[in-house]
Amino acid sequence: MKQLADGVWQLAGFPPNAINVFLLDAVLIDASTRCSARKILKELEGRPLSAHALTHAHPDHQGASHAVCERFGVPFWVGEQDAEAAENPKLIGERQPDHFMAQLFAKTMTGPGHHVDRRLHEGDDVASFKVIDVPGHSAGHVAFWRESDGVLVLGDVLNSADVYTLIPGLRTPKDYFTPDPAENRRSARKLALLEPKLVLFGHGPPVTDTKKFVDFVNGLPD
Ligand SMILES: [Zn+2]
């Protein structure tokens, strides 16, 4: 586990930065695919954990959620519009665009559903962060923002590497994993207004160049 900022850690992924899982204080953010459950549980062993939250209920983010919540007896927190899919993963595939890659990911990565104890809304506190609603890549996608030091965890609103080749570089998530790309770009613009100093992505390495981040978002089509 690698510390990235005060109270912010990134779990070791394999390959590194491919599918990211973070610890914000004692709240686990995202849980990779169902195949990662054993590795995540092992890495969390002996650490204080108070809750598990999702940026969004997609197969590569909720895969080990049930295992984490069961093992550590912690509550599960998900954005209001994604809560139903987090509880009933059949909906995850149904809400993805009708594209074979999206359906393949849904089949091979999705983990079991788990009861959502708290539905997250804009302005809610999660650890030392505030929830921001950023729909588009999923209806209930949320980001986590800490104004005091400019740390932003934005899930899949943007990727900082190609999800297949892992070649670094800012990009929007693939349209066939994104039910509403235009709404997702609006969400990206909302986040760029924050001018974050450290941006943490669901896929790809951290970005610390605020100008590069803001310029990329401002260059996106409407
Ligand atoms: Zn993802």
Name which of 170, 205, 175 is nearest 191 in CA terms.
170
How many other CB atoms are found less than 10 A from the CB of residue 98? 9
CA 177 – ligand 1 centroid, Å? 8
Residues 6+ positions from 90 with CB-CB distance below 8 Å: none
In whole angstroms, what is the distance from residue 1 CA to residue 180 CA?
33
Residue 24 forms beta bridges with which residues?
Answer: 8, 27
Amino acid 104: pLDDT: 87
CA 158 – ligand 1 centroid, Å? 10
CA 42 – ligand 1 centroid, Å? 22
Amino acid 103: pLDDT: 86
CA 2 – ligand 1 centroid, Å? 20
CA 58 – ligand 1 centroid, Å? 7
CA 193 – ligand 1 centroid, Å? 23
In whole angstroms, what is the distance from residue 117 CA to residue 45 CA?
22
**Strands 76-79 vs 51-53: parallel, antiparallel or unpaired:** parallel
Which is it for the CA torsion 57, 204, 32, 52, positive or negative?
Answer: negative
CA 19 – ligand 1 centroid, Å? 7
Amino acid 15: pLDDT: 86
DSSP letter for 194, please.
Answer: T
Amino acid 106: pLDDT: 84
Token pair, residue 2, equals 């690698």
CA 137 – ligand 1 centroid, Å? 9
CA 136 – ligand 1 centroid, Å? 13
CA 21 – ligand 1 centroid, Å? 11
Amino acid 158: pLDDT: 98
Residue 145 Rama label (left phi>0; alpha psi -120 to 50; beta): beta
CA 55 – ligand 1 centroid, Å? 9
Low-confidence spans in the chain with pLDDT less than 50: none
DSSP assignments along 12-51, one per residue:
--SSTTSS--EEETTEEE----GGGHHHHHHHHTTS---E
What length is written for the chain? 222
Amino acid 102: pLDDT: 85
CA 203 – ligand 1 centroid, Å? 6
Q: Which residue has the tokens 């953010």?
A: 29
Amino acid 110: pLDDT: 93
pTM, 2 dp = 0.96
